Amino acid sequence: MTARPWPVILLPGGVLPAGPAYAALLAELGADVDARPKELEVYAGEAPPPGFSLADEAAGIARVADEAGFERFHLVGYSGGGASSLAFAADQPDRLLSLALMEPAFAGWQEITEAERSHLERFRPLVDMDGPELFATFQALQLAPGVEPPAPPPGPPPPWMAKRPAGIRAFLNAFLASDLDLSALRRFDRPVWFALGGRSNPDYYALMAARLARVFPDFTVELFPDRHHFDPPHRIEPARVAESLRSLWSRADGDAQSIGFR
C-alpha cells in the first residue's frame, strides 16, 4: 500500500509571494508532499480588506484546506504567515497535524516580557510611514544589532511590490489592536517546530520563542546561526529545513495514528 502524500499548506511573509518564497524548499521536499503554497489574504485584492485582522488569514487557510480536501494537515508559516498560522492554531486546532513556525511576526501580548513588549512597541510608528522609510525601519527592527539588511535586487521592483506597504501596515495595525489566546494554544497538543535565525533581533524572535516554549506542550526550537529574517532558512538552507519538516511530520503522523486521527 502506497502511503498518501503529506498534506501541507505553506504561508509566506508579508513581502515575497508564496511561489518564490517556497520554490527552493518545495524542490527539496519532493513528490510525496501535497504542498499548497498560499498567498496571504491581505493581498487578495487591490487593497487590504477593510478592518483586516488575523481572522481573515485564518479563514483563508481553512478555505484552501477545504478546496484541497485536507481534513487535517500540516501548516507551515513564516513571518506574517507564521502569525496567521498561530491564529489558525488557536481557532481551529483540531484541523492541524503539526505546526511549523519560522519567526512569526506576532505571537500576541500575553505573558510577554518587558524587553519583548518594548521591542514590539517600536513598530508602532511604522503605521504612519511609507516608501523607503517604511521598508528600512521594518527591516532594521528585525535584525540583530550590527547586521546589515540585504541589498535590494537590481532593476525595477516587481509589480506585486506596489501592494506591500499597505499590506505591512495592515498587519501591523492588526497586531497592535489584537491579541492571541495563549490558553487555547496551551491545549494544542500537536508538535510545534520553530526556526530561529541567529542573526535576527533577539529581543523579537528569541524572546518570542522562549515565551512560546512555555505555552506549547510539544515545542522544539531549531537555531540557524547564520540566518536572519530576510535571508530565512527555507530559502537559503532548504535541504536542512526540508529534513526538519519531514522529521516533524513523521513524528506528528505517528502521534496522530496513536490517538486515532488517521
Q: Is residue 174 within 8 Å of 54, Cβ to Cβ?
A: yes
Query: Across 96-178, where does the E strand assignment appear?
Result: 96-102
Q: 102: which residues sit within 8 A by CB, 6+ positions away?
A: 76, 77, 78, 79, 82, 194, 195, 232, 233, 234
What pLDDT sits at residue 68? 98
Residue whose C-alpha cell reads 527591516 in the numeric block: 139
Residues 219-244 have pLDDT tens digits of 999 999 999 999 999 999 999 999 99
C-alpha 235: how far from chain center: 14
pLDDT band at 255 (very low <50, low <70, confident <90, very high): low
Q: Which residues contact 154 (CB under 8 A, 6 or more apart)?
A: none
How many CB atoms within 10 Å of residue 34?
16
pLDDT confidence of residue 2: 47
Q: Under 8 Å CB-to-CB from 204, ≥6 apart: which residues?
A: 116, 119, 120, 141, 142
The pLDDT tens digits for 5-40 are 999 999 999 999 999 999 999 999 989 999 999 999
Across the chain, the runs of DSSP E, i.e. the strands, are 6-11, 33-37, 73-78, 96-102, 192-197, 219-224
**Model-wide pTM > 0.85:** yes
Cell matching residue 63: 478555505
pLDDT at 261 over 70: no
For the purposes of burial, counting CB atoms within 10 Å of the CB of 114, is it exposed (0-12), middle (13-18) or buried (19 or more)? exposed
Res. 260: pLDDT tops 70 = no
Residue 257 above 60 pLDDT?
Answer: no
Q: How confident is the model over 182-208, as pLDDT tens digits?
A: 999 999 999 999 999 999 999 999 999
